[in-house]
Amino acid sequence: MEQPAAVILAAGRGTRMKSSLPKVLHPLCGRPMLEYLIATLRRAGVRRLLVVVGREGEAIRGALGDRVEYVVQDPPRGTGDALARALPRLRGHALAYVLHGDMPFVSVRTLRALRQAIGRHAAASLATRRMEQTHRFGRIVRDPAGRFLRIVEEKDATPAEAAIREVNAGFYCFRIAEIRRTLRRIRPTNRQAEYYLTDAVGLLAAAGREVVTVDVADAEELLGVNTRAELADAEAVARRRALRRLMDGGVTVIDPATTLVHDGVRVGPDTVLRPFTILTGRTVIGPSCEIGPGARIHDSILGRRVRVRDSTLEGVRIGEGTVVGPYAHLRPGTVVGRDVEIGNYAEMKKVRVGDRTKVHHKSYLGDAWIGADVNIGAGTITCNYGLDRRKHRTTIGDRAYIGSDSMLIAPVRIGRGAATGAGSVVTKDVPPRGVAVGVPARVIRFLNGRPS
C-alpha cells in the first residue's frame, strides 16, 4: 500500500492569539505544537512532508530547519489556496494527507484509517466525529441514504445545518490528481471571501467521485488552538499524556495535578515524582530516584538513586546515590559524583565534585574542581571573579577539609588532605596536608607530618 506524502497548513496569522510568535510555534509541554504533528506523521511512515507558511515563515523555518519542506502562501487566501500552492511540489505522488498545523493531537491510528479508507478508488477520505459541542467545526451534510454530500462551515450554515452533530475533524487524505483538478473550480463565495478546501471536498462528491469518512475515536484529536485559552486546554492534554507515558513505564507520580514534565523528558522505573516537581528540556532521570517536592530540573542528567528536594538544577550531571537539597541551586556546567551530599542553600556553577564529598550549608562554589571525600564547611565561597574581570578556578584536592566561612581567592589550589581554619581568606596555594588559617591565611602546620 502506497504511503501518502503530507501537507501541513500553517500559514494562518493566528490573530486571536495576539502574539508576535507564529501560532504553530507556541509550546506545549516544552515543544512547539507543530512538532507534535510532524512527529506523528513520521511515526505513520510519512517521508515527504510540506509545511505551508505565510509571512511568518522565517520563524517557522528557524524552528524546524531542514526537517521539512516549505511552501509560501502570501497573502493567505484560505485552505484551498494553501493546498493548491503545495500540490505542484508533489508530482510523482498519488496520495497526500492534509492537516492543520494548529491541531497537534491527531493520532497515527487516524492517519492509517484515512489511508485504508481511501483504498484504490476513492477520491478522498476525511475524519469526522459526532459531538455535542460543535462550535467552530464544519458540519457534515449527508443524503437520506447516509452518503457524504458536503461540508458546511459554521459561519455559512443554515439553522438546520448548524444543528447537525457530525463535524469535520480537519484531517484528510486526497488522491492528488483529483483534488488538483477540483481546486481549480472552487470560488471564494463565502463570508470570509476565502478559497475553502472543504468546498473542494463537496465538489468531488457532487461530481460522483467517492468521498469516504472515518470516525475519530478520541475527541482530543479535534482540539485546535486559536486562542490563549485553547492553548491552555492543549497544554493540559499534553501534560496529562506525558505523565501517563511515564506512569505506564513504571514511574510513580504522587500528584499529577501539581507535576509538570515536558514531552521528551525521560525518567527511569521506580522513580517517585513528588508534588510541585517540574522536569523540563532534555532532562534524563535514572531509576529509583526520589524527586521533589519542589524540585525544578532542566536539561540535566541524574543517575540511579538520586534524591532532590526543594532545589533547582540547570544543565548539570548528578552521580548515583547523591542527595541534593533542600534549597540548593546547581547551575550549568556542574558535574557531581556519586554519593555526594549537597544541602541547604548551596550554590554551584561550573563545578566538578568528586565522590562522597559533603557540601552541606550556605556555600557558593563557582569554577571549581573539588576532589573526593572533601568536606566543605558552612559559608565557604570560591571568589572566582578577579580584578582582571576574568573567572578563575579553585582546585581542592581529595580529603581536604575547608573550614566554615573560608574564602578561597582564585586562582588557588588546596592540596590533598589539606585544611583551612574557620574564617580564613586563602590567597595562596595550600600544600598537601597543610593547615592554613588567618586573614590572609598562612600555613601553620601539617597534618600527619610534613609532606615529602
Active site positions, annotated: 361
> What are the beta bridge partners of residue 53?
10, 72
Cα 335 to chain center, whole Å? 24
User: 56: alpha, beta or left, given left = phi > 0 and alpha = psi -120 to 50?
Assistant: alpha
* Inter-residue contact 319 to 355 (CB < 8 Å): yes
Give yes or no for a contact between 445 and 417, defined as CB atoms under 8 angstroms apart. no
How far apart CA 405 and CA 16 sit, in angstroms, is: 56
User: Which helix (H) or strand (E) covers residue 183, if one does?
Assistant: helix 176-183
Angle of CA points 202, 183, 95, to nearest 5°:
85
> What DSSP element (H or E) covers 245?
helix 228-248
Q: From CA 394, how far away is CA 367, in angstroms rounded?
A: 7
Look-up of cell digits 542528567:
301
Residue ranges of the alpha helices (H) in 8-107?
A: 33-43, 57-64, 79-86
**Rounded distance between C-alpha atoms, residue 427 and residue 408, angstroms:** 7
Strands 27-28 and 31-32: antiparallel
Phi, psi of 69 (to 5 degrees): -100, 160
Does residue 271 contact residue 252 with C-beta atoms inside 8 Å? yes
Cα separation, 437 vs 422, in Å, equals 7
Beta-strand pair 335-336/375-376:
unpaired
Distances (CA, A) of 166 to 127, 161, 216, 342: 10, 10, 11, 58
Number of helices (H) and strands (E) in the chain: give both, helices first: 8, 38
Give the DSSP per-residue string, 231-242.
Answer: HHHHHHHHHHHH
Beta strand 358-370 pairing with 335-336: unpaired
